[in-house]
Amino acid sequence: MRFMHRAIAPLLAIVLALLASSPAFACSLVRSLWPGLGWLPDDSALVYVTDAGVERFDVASGRTTLLSEPSGTYGVQEFAMSPDGTVVAHTFVGGVGPDCRGWWPTVRFVRVADGALLRRWTRLRGWFGPLLYRPDGSFLLGFAERPEGRSLGDDAAVTRVTWRHDAAGVRRGAGPYVARGAVAPVGGRLLTWNGATLRLLETERWTPLAERHRHSGWFDGAVWGPAGDRLASTEHRAPSAEELEEEGEHRGGEGAVVVRDGHTLAPLHRIEEPGWRPGGAAFSPDGRYLAVLSTPSVGTERWRRGRLVLWRTAGWVEVASVPAPRAIEVPMAWSHDGRTLAVGGYGRGEEAFEVPPPALFSLQDLGLTGGEP
């Protein structure tokens, strides 16, 4: 027994050393799962997420500043900027390795002007949902608490709670755990999507307002129009068994963008691009245009390229189509003056979760001058 201990101990030390030095276990290696971006109210700077963390790009000088560098295995997971552009909230999750103390999901509030840390919450058991600011500047943070001894994936064993952060301070109360969500720019309605369900809630008492289900496939994302009277959901169906057998892993499933009523979720218009799967969408500030970023749904090229299509919402006429970064489920944001569109570059590349800086498209890049084709 003593001999076995002497023989195993050096081997165990070697294994632990290798694990500690492996990028998969090193918490200093930042990887962003759900990147985000947002413009400052005066359009002077763009704040976004990359592999490095949360960065600020000043348009006039072209200078990039790192605002927050989380030491988490999975990097920045959620991102939200306050309506006045002064604060960025983001989450990250620690893991095993240097500078880590276990699986501790953390949310930080960082000042955009200089990157100063304003507040930090760390939860020992469970995980955060999306970070959401309401139009009045109050803050919603969903969190799923995990009892001791239960796995993170055991949804039946969690207590779903919602944190509110506003002028009155931080309040903790019962509420739904939201996997993905977006708050309407008017009225404070909360749109959520998870798998095949799209749901609309009011955020005071969490009363359900409307709900839609897909019988095949799922909802990838959704964005509100500027007036809150409509939204666009990106959806796709899973490839059939026959398609998978024919195309193998290079088949991604067909997709569509569905424009819906902002109060009932009833479909108003459907945009289908055969051979392409939508990964992001954004209404222009005046509501006259809808930009859609898609990636090929078939073949190995679906991980290497994308295209950006601009639709005029009056009559739903395509007015531009240009090459764009490869991406799936990407953030997109127009500047407040409607002259520049920022497109996140999230996609599969050399690394599993490669997050380059966003690409910027001017009206001229999209073939528009003065807002008209």
Q: Which residue ranges make up each domain of the chain?
A: 1-178, 179-373
Q: Note the CATH number of domain 1-178.
A: 2.40.128
Q: pLDDT at position 239, please?
A: 61
Of 23-37, 117-131, 271-285, give the range with the top mean pLDDT: 271-285
Q: pLDDT at position 172, please?
A: 65
Average pLDDT over all residues of the chain: 76
Q: Got the DSSP string for 35-66?
A: --EEE-TTSSEEEEEETTEEEEEETTT--EEE
The predicted model gives 321-329 an average pLDDT of 75
Nearest to 238 by CA among 261, 267, 215: 215
Any idea what the Cα angle at residue 103 is, between residues 100 and 108, rounded to 5°?
A: 75
Asked if residue 240 has pLDDT above 80, the reply is: no
Q: pLDDT at position 359, please?
A: 84
User: Among residues of the chain, what percentage have pLDDT more than 90?
Assistant: 33
Tell me the pLDDT tens digit for each residue of 339-356: 999 987 655 444 445 667
Tell me the pLDDT tens digit for each residue of 134-186: 888 887 777 766 555 554 444 444 455 666 665 555 566 667 767 788 999 98
pLDDT band at 72 (very low <50, low <70, confident <90, very high): low
The predicted model gives 273-298 an average pLDDT of 88
CA distance 88 to 337: 21
Range with the poorest average pLDDT among 36-40, 96-100, 229-233: 96-100
* CB-based contact 150:170 (threshold 8 Å): no
Six-digit token string for 123: 């939860």
Residue 158: CB atoms within 10 A of its CB come to 19
Residues facing 25 on adjacent strands: none
The predicted model gives 278-302 an average pLDDT of 84
Q: pLDDT at position 277, please?
A: 84
The predicted model gives 42-63 an average pLDDT of 91
pLDDT band at 243 (very low <50, low <70, confident <90, very high): low
* CB-based contact 233:221 (threshold 8 Å): yes
pLDDT band at 273 (very low <50, low <70, confident <90, very high): confident
Asked if residue 43 has pLDDT above 70, the reply is: yes
Q: pLDDT at position 21, please?
A: 39
* CB-based contact 344:327 (threshold 8 Å): yes
Asked if residue 69 has pLDDT above 80, the reply is: yes
pTM of full prediction above 0.95: no
Higher pLDDT, 303 or 335: 335
Q: pLDDT at position 36, please?
A: 80
Strands 359-362 and 139-145: unpaired
1-178 with 179-373: one CATH topology? no
Asked if residue 264 has pLDDT above 50, the reply is: yes
Residues facing 190 on adjacent strands: 183, 201
Tell me the pLDDT tens digit for each residue of 192-237: 988 889 999 988 778 899 999 987 778 888 999 999 999 999 988 7
Asked if residue 22 has pLDDT above 70, the reply is: no
Q: pLDDT at position 292, please?
A: 94
Higher pLDDT, 172 or 100: 172
Asked if residue 97 has pLDDT above 70, the reply is: no
Nearest to 105 by CA among 97, 114, 94: 94
Q: Which fold has domain 179-373?
A: Methylamine Dehydrogenase; Chain H (2.130.10)
Distance (Å) of CA 301 to CA 226, 304, 357: 33, 5, 21
